[in-house]
Each structure stands twice: as structure tokens, then as C-alpha cells.
Amino acid sequence: MRRIIAIPVALLLIFAINDFAKADYGIYQKNGCRMEFRRTEITRHHPDLASMQTDGPTPESYYGEAADGDPDVMNNLGVDFAIGKRVPRNLHEAWKLFSMAVRQGLKEASYNLGIMYATGQGVARSEATAARWFRAAADHGDAEAENTLGTMCENGLGLPQGNAEAASWYRLAASKWHTAAQDNLGRLYLARLADPAGPGEKGRWEILSAANRAPEAAYLLGMELINGSPLPRDTAQAAVWLRLAAHEGDVEAASQLGLAYEAGNGFPIDHGEAARWYQLAAQQGNGDAQFRLGVMYAVGRGVPKDPVKAYAWLDIAARQGIKEAALKRDLIAGEMNRTSFYDAQRLKKEWLQIRGIIAR
């Protein structure tokens, strides 16, 4: 059974806590959270600054405006201190400036404080505190914050885990055409982890999510169309979505396409096409695809018969715990001469150097 990826713990940041600390921000990155410190447009209140360099005013002018209490300028100076641009990096100073801007209701500053607490930059890491700051930004209609809160709810990061609550946050952001939130909402619906808010909503976000080239959503949509539940069976459309998912890196989609073209099941039987998709999945560590590709090389179905490649793929699949692959490999080995056997061992070792060919 396919396991739905439960999104990692963290955020794509170009900033590290320090030069030595490296964090894995995979969960937030996977859910499309743009965890980057955000500036505001200060020329809306200070037109005279519009003629200055495009990357913003100088630190000297910043200090002057910040002293006058302008929240946009305080926020932007905070960003400079957070990333060390134009001024020496000083996370404590960044925190103070963001906090001052927040007191004047600037949502971008609330979001920036959320980043600091979520990543432990300049403050003790606290996802619960981060969630409160993201909520403050979301209360002002910030779509990025809404998508981030959905991710935190879905994964129990600083908030109680709850797919229904996650879906409600994703829905708010998706309604503002936040692409990642559309992907996340469609994925929850396709995986049956949340219920739609109303008739027709499920299909709308499923299709949008897949069309946004979210491989997980495209795979799940393709499988629904193959299985005929809950969507009507449509193998032609299933092939479209599975191909999209496979080209976007979904290994199981590639393996399923290989199986579909090999076995038929509503698809035209095409062993050459099956072998091509198995090859794509096998090279990315899918054990089932490695086994099936090995069998195809063993009998010459869809590819030229090649005992050396057959043995290599079957041995790699066997290493991933596929017992049938081990049995088939041993049968082939018994029919090989010494030269072919050594060639197969050498080829296997070459392939094992390819990163990801053994699933981790």
C-alpha cells in the first residue's frame, strides 16, 4: 500500500542558525512554505525613496526612518540584520525590530518572527511560539502564513495534529490562489485525509493540485482513475496524470505505468513502453520495478534478452528484500558461464554506485 508522505520538519531557508548548525527543513519545504524573511514596500509611505537603488535604501537612511517609528522600515532593517545584508548580521537586533513593527500591526513582521521561532534563529526554537506569530499574520489575510499553519496542523508542529484543521488553513490560502496550498489541499482530499467543505470542492482542488505539477497529487488522481473509485474509470486520463507524476519524480507513478503497459488492465499492452517506465523507476530505487525489469531482460520481453543485465537488476532487487528476485537471480546464475557471471557482478557494482538505486 502506498504510504502518503507526511511532510518533513522544517523550512527552506537560505539562513542557518549559525555557520556550524545545519537544519533539515524538509517538511515546510515539501509543503511549499516559502520561509524567507519578507520585506515590505516602504515607498508607499515614503515616495522620495523610490529614486534610490532598487535593492533598498542605505542603512543610514534606514536608521533615520526606523527612529521615526515607520513599521515598514523597521521590518526591512530587521531583514537586513537577519541575513547580514548592508549591515553586520545581528539576529537579536532583527528580533527587536520585527517586534517593534508587529506592535503597529505589520503582518510581514509577524511572519518574520514566526520564521525566527520556527528555526531557532536568535531565539530559543519554539514551534508553538512560531505558530502564534504565523497565526497573527494569517489573521491579517496572509496566504503564506495560512499555508504554513496548514503544514503545522497536518504534522503536529507547534499545534495539535489535525487534518481537518490543516485543510481549513490550506483552503483559505488556496482561495487566494496560493499554488502550494492548492497542492496540499488536493493531496489531502486525494488521500482521503480530509473531507471537502462542499459539493464539487474536492474535484476542483484535486485537479488544480495535479495540474500544478504536484507529483503526489497527480499520482493519486491517476490511481483513482485506474481503479474507478471514487472517480469514474478512465485509463486514458489516468495515463496523463501518471506520466505527469513520473516526469516530476514520483517513482511509484513510473512503476505503475510499467505495470499498466505490461499487464494491460485498460492500457494497450506495450512491453517496450513498460520496460521504459520500469527502467525509470528502477534507477530511482523502486524494488518492484527492478525485479520486473530483471525478468524482462531474462526472457527478452520489451528489451533484448540479456542475462547479465537480468542478473544485475534481480540481485539489486533481492537486496531490497524481494524474495522472488533472489530465486530468479539464482536460476539465471546457474545457467551463466564464468565470464558472464563476472560481467554481471561488475555491472551490478557499477549500478550500485548510482545514488538512490537502493531505496533507503
**Using CA atoms, how far apart are residues 71 and 12, in angstroms rounded to an integer?**
26
Amino acid 52: pLDDT? 40
Specify the residue for cell string 473531507.
195
Tell me: pLDDT of 233 over 50: yes
Among the residue ranges 146-155, 221-230, 291-300, the one predicted with the least confidence is: 221-230
**Lookup: cell for 224:** 483513482
Specify the residue for cell string 538512490.
356
How many CB atoms within 10 Å of residue 193? Answer: 15
Tell me: pLDDT of 286 over 80: yes
**Using CA atoms, how far apart are residues 260 and 266, in angstroms rounded to an integer?**
8
Q: Give mean pLDDT, residues 129-140.
A: 94
For 183-188, which contacts have Cβ atoms below 8 Å and span 24 or more sequence positions? 183/32, 183/209, 183/212, 183/214, 183/217, 184/31, 184/32, 184/147, 184/150, 184/151, 184/154, 184/209, 185/150, 185/209, 186/210, 186/214, 186/217, 187/4, 187/214, 187/216, 187/217, 187/220, 188/154, 188/163
Contact 231, 225 (CB under 8 A): yes
* Tens digit of each residue's pLDDT (9 = 90 or more) over 103-115: 988 999 999 999 9
Amino acid 41: pLDDT? 72
Strands (E) in 94-143, as ranges, are: none
Amino acid 168: pLDDT? 92
Give the chain's mean pLDDT: 81
Amino acid 8: pLDDT? 35
Tell me: pLDDT of 5 over 50: no
Give the pLDDT band (50/70/90) at residue 216: confident
Total number of residues shown for the chain = 360
For 18-27, which contacts have Cβ atoms below 8 Å and span 24 or more sequence positions? 23/119, 23/120, 25/119, 27/151, 27/155, 27/157
Of 61 and 70, the one with more pLDDT? 70
Amino acid 194: pLDDT? 85
**Using CA atoms, how far apart are residues 58 and 19, in angstroms rounded to an integer?**
26
**Lookup: cell for 187:** 493531496
Amino acid 146: pLDDT? 95
Give the pLDDT band (50/70/90) at residue 209: low
* CATH 1.25.40.10 intervals, the chain: 1-161
Tell me: pLDDT of 42 over 70: no
Amino acid 53: pLDDT? 41
Cis geometry, peptide bond prior to residue 215 (ω within 30 degrees of 0): no
* Tens digit of each residue's pLDDT (9 = 90 or more) over 153-207: 999 999 999 999 999 999 888 877 788 888 888 888 878 888 877 666 666 666 6
Positive or negative: CA dihedral 201, 205, 206, 207: positive
Tell me: pLDDT of 360 over 80: no
322: alpha, beta or left? (left if phi > 0; alpha if psi -120 to 50): beta
90: alpha, beta or left? (left if phi > 0; alpha if psi -120 to 50): beta
Strands (E) in the chain, as ranges, are: none
Contact 208, 200 (CB under 8 A): no
Amino acid 347: pLDDT? 92
* Tens digit of each residue's pLDDT (9 = 90 or more) over 343-353: 999 999 988 88
**Using CA atoms, how far apart are residues 221 and 243, in angstroms rounded to an integer?**
11
Q: Give mean pLDDT, residues 16-28.
A: 46
CATH architecture of the region 1-161:
Alpha Horseshoe (1.25)
* Tens digit of each residue's pLDDT (9 = 90 or more) over 257-276: 999 999 887 889 999 999 99
